[in-house]
A and B are shown apart, each in its own frame.
Chain A
Amino acid sequence: MSRPSVVVLVWAGFLVVLGLVLLAWTRSPLMNGLLFGAAAGTVLLALLALRSREPGRRFVPDVSVPTALTAVGIGLAVTGSAVGTWLLLIGSGLAVVGLAGVVRELARA
């Protein structure tokens, strides 16, 4: 329990046990799929935690306008899928510009 990946695996184990008990009652692919799917996702998280290493020294900007721009762009694009193509295009454009800015920030760091 002293390592994060073990904690996540313990939790995945709980989910598997609960999934097995559910199997005794029903073979519904949806119900079992949801619970075992969550367990599988948790195992993936555990693997990610296992691979995770302490990050090196890095520069963190105080302000990242491109990140905010990307989020607003995504928001407008998603909303635009209901409102109209014009908003979808504006949002997508903003998101692309924002992402380019983030890449530039990362390259500078």
Chain B
Amino acid sequence: MTTVASERPVPRGLLAWAAATDHKRVGVLTGATALVLLLVNGSFALVMRSELAWPGTQIVGLKTYNELFTAHGSGMIYLVVTPLAFALAVYFVPLQVGAAEIAGPRFALLGFWLYVCGAVAMYSGFLTQEGAARFGWTAFPPLSDSTNSPGIGSDLWLLGVCLAVGGMFVLSGCVLATIVRLRAPGMTMLRLPVFCWTMVVTALMTLTTFPVLIVALTLLELDRRGVGVFTSAGGPAAYQHLFWFYGHPVVYVMFFPFVGAMGEVIATFSRRRFFGYHAFVISLLAFAALSMSVWAHHMFTTGQVTNQYFSLTSTLIAIPAGIEYFDLIGTMIGGSILFRTPMLFAIGFLLLFLLGGLSGIMVASPPIDYHVHDSFFVVAHFHYTLFAGSMFAFFAAVYYWFPKVTGAFLREGLGKLHFLFMFVGTNLTFFPMFLLGEKGMPRRVGDYRGSDGFTGLNLLSTIGAFLTAFAIAIFVCNVFVSLWRREPAGADPWEGQTLEWATSSPPPRHNFDALPAVRSFAPLLDVREGKT
């Protein structure tokens, strides 16, 4: 161990948390902030779904609806799912590589606060006279220019996104530097746990694509102030290239960390070593590289891109994705599977993400994409990947690592109830959207005609959204109940395989008093099997 933390007593109080350099506190702060924002953005979704349950405007006007879907979409991507992924990484990567600290602890703190400032700026648009941004999370010009979207709310949104994305960029640098510089003796790259490997590729994608978005949004802001960047004939398409060069890889930034967490959960609850580790690593690198070269499949219908290339790369992604699925399922085969709550969510992730992934292959084909572009089919597709996929995996990770972070178990009964309602609610919400899209319902609309034939499916989807909200409420109750009446967990309650389980729960400031020898990617399993 090369980096040492202060051995003084851990400071207490609000400031000790707000200005903490301990990666565990920064991770908890980032995760807690993102979870609060999940509730905020989720409540926006409930308002939108209520509005769409029947034809006609009942709850909010169209202007407010546009503000809500912009805040919901951008909030979930920039402020919830990406930060949740980095919260897990900031907390667990140093522990999994056997480090006493994160690399650049001050930078990690800086990243967290930039993220918070970005969130405040984005939402503060609701307090302005002209209202918040209402051009969708993509902010395409000319819709987002100062003529079509006047008002300071849009400027605050643009600058807020830059700050939040900048914060995640800084956090990703810390995570990657930790893996590069602070690994414990014996922890070679090919002995990194699968979660750390997913964070390596996530950080590489973040470091190479997030600056592009910051540049694009800064240029857009300059555009709004009359500089004239995207006002030429090819300007809007140029913006779309810059945006999607960030916008597609970020889908995998919101996916890979959770796949890694699933790898840990599935291996632990199958009582088996992770299957096909080396194939998984290579497929991750290929997957991440391919995902950098598919951005223009979002632009098939613009006629400004080479559809053949982007269709080819988008379809090729199915190969490394298939290898990863194969590894996850292969880990379960022959194992003695324990169906605890984390495992249920992991299996839910495998089933539901498959629907998101397979519908992704469909829209990777330009003819199908022309048919369903900007329809509810696309909304269903990305919600199956980001909510049914990533959020299920996130909850699996929370139930798995909660005992490590707090020293107490989450309640198993409430967890299973949470899973049940969430599984039913998620499918009821998002599956009808495939059918709505196929029937021609456009996305980003706050109303439709009764004669369109969309009412029944929309009502079903709204009922599903409230069931999902109920599931989230159960989770929140579970957290409070479990922290209030604690069931002590001990250092290694699940018989974990990686180094975070080799220290107390919660870990001390300096993470480890002693480390076992690292001879594979599952050092604690080696100890249990007598291989060290």
Contacts and interface: CB of A to CB of B under 8 A. Distances in A.
A97 interface: no
Contacts of A45: 176, 204, 207
Nearest to B234: A30
A107 interface: no
Contact of A15 (B2, B21, B238, B292): B292
Interface in A51-88: 52-65, 67-68, 70-72, 74-76, 78-79, 81-83
A73 to B, nearest CB: 9
B484 to A, nearest CB: 27
A63 B19 contact: yes
Given A4-B180, A65-B19, A79 B159 contact: yes
B3 A79 contact: no
B155 interface: yes
Given A4-B189, A58-B4, A68-B113, A22 B19 contact: no
Given A22-B293, A59-B6, A14 B286 contact: yes
A69 to B, nearest CB: 8
A93 B152 CA distance: 23
A18 interface: yes
A49 interface: yes
Contact of A18 (B208, B212, B293): B293
Interface stretch (B7-15, B67-75, B255-263, B324-332): B7-15
Contact of B190 (A1, A10, A52): A1
B109 A68 contact: yes
Nearest to A41: B208
Contacts of A65: 15, 19
Contacts of B21: 60-64, 67
Given A26-B309, A67-B21, A55 B190 contact: no
Contacts of B113: 67-68, 71-72, 75
Interface in B104-135: 105-106, 109-114, 116-118, 120-121, 124
A10 B6 contact: no
Contacts of A56: 2
Nearest to B120: A75
A70 B112 CA distance: 12
Interface residues of B, number: 76
Nearest to A79: B121
Contact of A38 (B6, B114, B209): B209
A79 B163 CA distance: 9
Contacts of B43: none
Interface string B235-247: 0001001100100
Interface string A1-39: 111101110110011001101100110001100110010
A19 B309 CA distance: 11
Given A41-B208, A54-B2, A63-B20, A71 B117 contact: yes
Contacts of B177: 52
Contacts of B10: 62
B296 interface: yes
B117 A75 contact: yes
A10 B120 contact: no
B288 interface: yes
A4 B285 CA distance: 13
Given A57-B2, A60-B6, A18 B290 contact: yes
Contacts of A11: 201, 204, 285, 288-289
A92 interface: no
B78 to A, nearest CB: 14
A79 B190 contact: no
B16 A62 contact: yes
A49 B245 contact: no
B285 A7 contact: yes
Q: Which of B19, B156, B207, B221 has the most CB of A within 10 A?
A: B19
Given A11-B201, A38-B208, A75-B163, A68 B3 contact: no
Q: Which of B20, B111, B204 has the most CB of A within 10 A?
A: B204
A54 B187 CA distance: 13
Contacts of B101: 60
A25 B238 contact: no
B509 A78 contact: no
Contacts of B118: 75
A60 B101 CA distance: 9
B200 interface: yes
B22 interface: yes
B262 to A, nearest CB: 21
Most buried by A among B16, B121, B179, B509: B121
Interface string B91-113: 00000000001010110011111
B162 interface: yes
A17 B111 CA distance: 33
B315 interface: no
Contact of A82 (B110, B111, B155, B305): B155
A102 B285 contact: no
Nearest to A54: B2
Given A11-B288, A38-B208, A81-B159, A64 B11 contact: no
* Across the A-B interface, the 3 shortest Cβ-Cβ residue pairs: A75-B117, A71-B113, A14-B289
Given A14-B289, A78-B159, 7 more contacts: A3-B189, A38-B208, A58-B4, A61-B6, A68-B18, A75-B118, A79-B163
